[in-house]
């Protein structure tokens, strides 16, 4: 029988050990290896909970649900019950499915809600404060996953998170640094002192307890989905909205429903790619990028070589142009999925690419379709002992969402409304251009870059991958797949590898520090590329099935990400 007390002692000891590890030390090219099952997530305690769930008889979906609720406690900048996301599932019998639990616009939302009388965007209105929040979908999503695939009770899956919220958890160096940068915003956007505010700087090893969040989780544990979308928690959300001129109502909460959608699938060098459909742009964009790469010998060109980076950037600027034009909520617009994934359409787009010079983005528009996302997100990859796999990406959008914690409920609200095209043709906080397809409308789901992805080879599970990173999510997943499939890297090596990113506008290649040699940088600039050096791109959480059937975890050293298994 599952013992939360024993589990907490185990996990707290694990975390204490973890905290003593120097995160800057040389990380081996091969990641954590397990014989049967594995979880890779953004925090060691959350991964430990997922593993323990599987040891106690739960499957991959059970473990992912428990890990998700744990991240809402120990990773509040992105782990959440006040946000939403997507899940891609592959069972050991080969069946696939995906769940859309993306946030929705409130009923009172309207197209011009973030514009002033002159039709100009009002600074910060779509990103900070109550009006930035969409209707949360995360809790409904976890219950929808459980109803279809779960084996243990939801009470068992939520209990470890309640325990940690009550007893507290210790801050890692990265969490400490982040919290100390957010104190002014927390004070500005909350009328009370949240558990994350302090009169002094937080220090590594400080403990944070969350009694209000524990009560909210207990409400969900006792009353199921209605413990969040109705009753006291719903009252607390609506009261918060009313005080801050937010739009989410009781009816919005009660009527929210997740949607099962057909996954986006494609092929790349004999591998099957299974990813998320709209309103996520991730699956379509990923397949388009892979289609454009397949005709080129990038393994011969080399990882992060001039030709490889040039090709990737040229493909990405075209794919992101399509994203801005054609993608949105399929319940509101006709998304031309088949046409965008048609090899003839994409080949015509990519034939324009020259290896003698870069194409200025001003000359790149979306293709002609024939008739017919600081980015703070978090990802969970899970494989169980029976070979079931799930990839879940969830988000509050920005770090700590709209910075508003629901008084009495203990969780932050999302600022996902910024992922709409607040003013079509103008960029959002990630610099992504949006079009009419993603304009604001009541009850509509906003476009996303989340790309939870599962890869098979010869009908056998090979990889489970995903990452946070806003607009860089798609290209981070893309590069990680190339690192394994084309460049022969193991999972941890592929995750560690330095990344680059292009997204049409701004017309630049974002480059991680030390990703490219000086010669490659010079060569790319001679081709006409603008380079911008940045600190970190993405935080991958991945699992690779090795040829002998064992599992290799790839947890990103750019964060506190941790892969654990048994």
CB-CB contact of 78 with 560 (8 Å): no
- Whether residue 73 contacts residue 161, with contact meaning beta carbons closer than 8 Å, is answered with yes
* Half-sphere exposure for 106 (CA within 13 Å, toward CB): 22
- Provide the token pair at 45: 């305690």
**How far, in Å, CA of 33 to CA of 14, rounded?**
17
DSSP 34-94: ESS-EEEESSHHHHHHHHHHHHTT--HHHHHHHHHHHHHHH-TTT--SSSEEEEEEE-TTS
How far is the C-alpha of 59 from the C-alpha of 38, rounded, in Å?
11
* Cis ω for the linkage preceding 506 (within 30 of 0): yes
Look at residue 523 and give its three-state secondary structure: helix
The neighbour count for residue 356, using CB atoms within 10 Å, is 7
How far CA 528 is from CA of 172, 317, 499, 508, 524, in Å, comes to: 42, 14, 19, 10, 7
CA angle 477, 66, 156 (to 5 degrees): 165
Q: Are 499 and 469 in contact (CB under 8 A)?
A: no
Longest dimension (CA), the chain: 65
| Residue 139 near residue 225, CB atoms below 8 Å | yes
Q: Are the CB atoms for 446 and 102 separated by under 8 Å?
A: yes
Contacts of 558 (CB under 8 A, 6+ apart): 536, 538, 539
Catalytically annotated residues: 377
Name the token pair of 313: 């950037």
The kind and range of the H/E element at 220 are helix 211-223
Strand-strand pairing, 531-534 and 509-512: parallel
The neighbour count for residue 25, using CB atoms within 10 Å, is: 8
- With contact defined as beta carbons under 8 Å apart, do 444 and 332 qualify? yes
- Any idea what the Cα angle at residue 225 is, between residues 220 and 229, rounded to 5°? 95
- Three-class SS state of 330: coil
**Cα 363 versus chain centre, distance:** 31
- The residues, ordered by sequence, that sit 6+ positions from 521 with a Cβ below 8 Å of its Cβ are 511, 531
């Amino acid at each position: 029988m599952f013992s939360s007390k024993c589990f907490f002692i185990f996990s707290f000891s694990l975390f204490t050990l973890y905290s003593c590890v120097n995160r800057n030390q040389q990380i081996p090219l091969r990641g954590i290896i397990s014989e049967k099952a594995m979880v890779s997530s953004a925090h060691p305690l959350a991964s430990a909970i997922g593993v323990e769930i599987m040891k106690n008889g739960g499957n991959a979906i059970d473990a992912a649900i428990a890990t998700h609720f744990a991240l809402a406690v120990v990773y509040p900048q992105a782990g959440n019950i006040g946000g939403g996301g997507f899940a891609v599932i592959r069972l050991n019998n080969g069946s696939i499915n995906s769940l859309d639990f993306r946030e929705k616009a409130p009923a009172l939302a309207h197209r011009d809600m973030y514009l002033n009388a002159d039709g100009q965007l009002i600074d910060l209105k779509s990103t900070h404060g109550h009006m930035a929040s969409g209707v949360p979908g995360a809790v409904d999503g976890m219950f929808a996953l459980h109803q279809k695939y779960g084996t243990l009770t939801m009470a068992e899956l939520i209990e470890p998170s309640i325990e940690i919220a009550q007893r507290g958890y210790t801050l890692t160096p990265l969490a400490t640094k982040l919290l100390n940068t957010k104190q002014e915003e927390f004070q500005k956007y909350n009328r009370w002192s949240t558990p994350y505010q302090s009169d002094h700087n937080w220090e590594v090893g400080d403990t944070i307890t969350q009694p209000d969040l524990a009560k909210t989780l207990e409400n969900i544990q006792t009353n199921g989905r209605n413990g969040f979308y109705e009753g006291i928690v719903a009252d607390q959300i609506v009261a918060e909205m009313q005080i801050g001129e937010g739009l989410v109502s009781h009816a919005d909460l009660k009527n929210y429903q997740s949607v099962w959608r057909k996954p986006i699938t494609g092929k790349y060098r004999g591998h099957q790619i299974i990813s998320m459909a709209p309103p996520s742009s991730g699956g379509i964009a990923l397949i388009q990028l892979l289609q454009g790469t397949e005709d080129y010998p990038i393994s011969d060109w080399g990882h992060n070589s001039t030709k490889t980076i040039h090709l990737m950037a040229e493909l990405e600027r075209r794919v992101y142009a399509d994203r801005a034009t054609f993608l949105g909520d399929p319940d509101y617009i006709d998304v031309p999925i088949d046409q965008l994934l048609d090899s003839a359409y994409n080949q015509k787009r990519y034939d324009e690419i020259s290896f003698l010079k870069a194409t200025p983005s001003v000359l790149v528009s979306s293709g002609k379709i024939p008739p017919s996302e600081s980015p703070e997100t978090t990802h969970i990859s899970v494989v169980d002992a029976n070979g079931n796999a799930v990839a879940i990406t969830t988000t509050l959008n920005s770090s700590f969402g709209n910075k508003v914690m629901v008084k009495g409920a203990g969780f932050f609200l999302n600022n996902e409304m910024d992922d709409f095209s607040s003013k079509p043709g103008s960029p959002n906080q990630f610099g992504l251009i949006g079009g009419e397809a993603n304009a604001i409308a009541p009850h509509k789901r906003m476009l996303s870059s989340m790309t939870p992805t599962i890869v098979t080879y010869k009908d056998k599970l090979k990889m489970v991958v995903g990452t946070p990173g806003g607009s860089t999510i798609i290209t981070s997943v893309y590069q990680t797949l190339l690192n394994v499939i084309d460049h022969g890297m193991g999972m941890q090596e592929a995750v560690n590898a330095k990344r680059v990113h292009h997204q049409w506008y701004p017309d630049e290649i974002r480059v991680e520090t030390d990703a490219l040699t000086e010669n490659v940088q010079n060569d790319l600039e001679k081709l006409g590329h603008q380079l911008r050096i940045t600190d970190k791109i993405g935080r991958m959480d991945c699992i690779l099935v090795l040829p002998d059937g064992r599992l290799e975890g790839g947890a990103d050293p750019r964060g506190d990400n941790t892969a654990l298994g048994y």
